Amino acid sequence: MVYNKETQKRYYELHKEEILVKARIYHSKKQLTDKEYRKHRAIKTKEWIDNNREQFNLRMREYAHRNRLKCNARKMALIKITIPKNILCCVCSNNIATERDHRDYSKPLKVLFVCKQCNENLDHKQIKMSLIGE
C-alpha cells in the first residue's frame, strides 16, 4: 500500500477519535522535565563510560587527534586564562560570563568571556559575528 498525504488524511478521518484518545493517554503520562532528562542522560552516559572505558578512551584519543588545534587551544586557555569574577558576557552584557569561547583556535590565548547561553548560540552560529566585533 502506498502511503501518501491523501491516504494518511483518509486514515486520520476514519480513526480520528481513536488517535486522539491514544495521544491524550500518551501526553497524560508524566514526561521527564528537561532538567530531569539531562540528569537521567548524564547518569546513563556515566554508566556507559564506566562499562566501556577502553572504547571511550579510544574515542577521546581519536577526537583529540582529529581536532588537535582545538584541544591544544582549550588546554592552553584553561591553564593560562582565568575567567574574571563578576565580568559580564561580552555578547549579551546581561549575564555573568562563565565560559571561554575561541573564535580562532590558531590564537589560543585570544578568548571571549561569555555566558553559557551565548556560548551555545555562538557555537551554533545564531549570533552574527559582527555583533561581537569580528
Residue spans per domain, the chain: 73-134
Report the pLDDT averaged over residues 47-53. 96
In this predicted structure, the answer to whether residue 90 has a pLDDT above a threshold of 60 is yes
131 and 111 Cβ atoms separated by less than 8 Å: no
pTM over 0.85: no
In this predicted structure, the answer to whether residue 23 has a pLDDT above a threshold of 90 is no
Report the pLDDT averaged over residues 40-65. 95
The Cα 2–Cα 11 span in angstroms is 13
Grid cell 558576557 in the structure block, residue:
89
In this predicted structure, the answer to whether residue 121 has a pLDDT above a threshold of 80 is yes
